[in-house]
Amino acid sequence: MDLKGLYREIVNEHNLRPSHKGQMENPDLVLRGVNPSCGDDITLQLKIENGVIEDALFNGSGCAISQASVDMMADQVIGRSKEDAIKLAGTFMGMIKGDIKDEAQIEELDEAASLQDIAHMPARVKCAVLGWKTMQEMLEHPEKAENISTENA
């Protein structure tokens, strides 16, 4: 399978069978992310304990790339510290914008690295980064996120 085929396969798999789509009970942080240019509209919910992301779920709708990207993101950030997750989001966005080309750094993204070629599709960049941007925003500025539970947040 060529690289393009692999990319399509991964996006399809996450889009059709997302592992992290749903409604969380008692999330600590909730933030909606919208990409009007495509119509992607997601709500990201995080469970945070002692500074570590214990769980991440999203709901909403959007194109295959936005949905697959946020699902891959949840895979990668569960179990990471907030700081680590913010750093990973920076790596992902740097890769998608074509600013980060270092392979060792990109490998940290694991499956999400398969979205690297989006860098050559400017119209899809906002779709790919939506979930990551939303997560970064809610972790860096928890006061903007809807704080459902005040403990641990």
Binding site for Zn ion (CB under 5 A): 38, 40, 63, 66, 127
With respect to Zn ion, which residue has the nearer C-beta, 77 or 130?
130
Question: Considering only CA atoms, which of 71, 72, 93 is closest in space to residue 140?
Answer: 93
Closest approach of Cβ 88 to Zn ion, in Å?
Answer: 21
> Which of 30, 38 has the CB closer to Zn ion?
38
How many Å apart are CA 131 and CA 152, to the nearest integer?
22
Nearest distance from C-beta of residue 140 to Zn ion, angstroms: 23
Positions of E strands within the chain: 29-35, 40-49, 52-61, 146-147
Burial of 137 (0-12, 13-18, 19+ CB in 10 A): middle
| Nearer to Zn ion among residue 42 and residue 48 (C-beta) | 42
Kindly state the smallest distance separating residue 17's Cβ from Zn ion, in Å.
19
CB of 128 to Zn ion, least distance (A): 8
Nearer to Zn ion, 34 or 52 (CB): 34
Task: Output the CA–CA distances (angstroms, integers) from residue 89 to 109, 129, 136, in the order listed.
Answer: 9, 9, 7
Q: With respect to Zn ion, which residue has the nearer C-beta, 48 or 125?
A: 125
Going by C-beta distance under 8 Å and a sequence separation of 6 or more, which residues neighbour residue 6? 114
Q: How far is the CB of 32 from Zn ion (least distance, A)?
A: 15
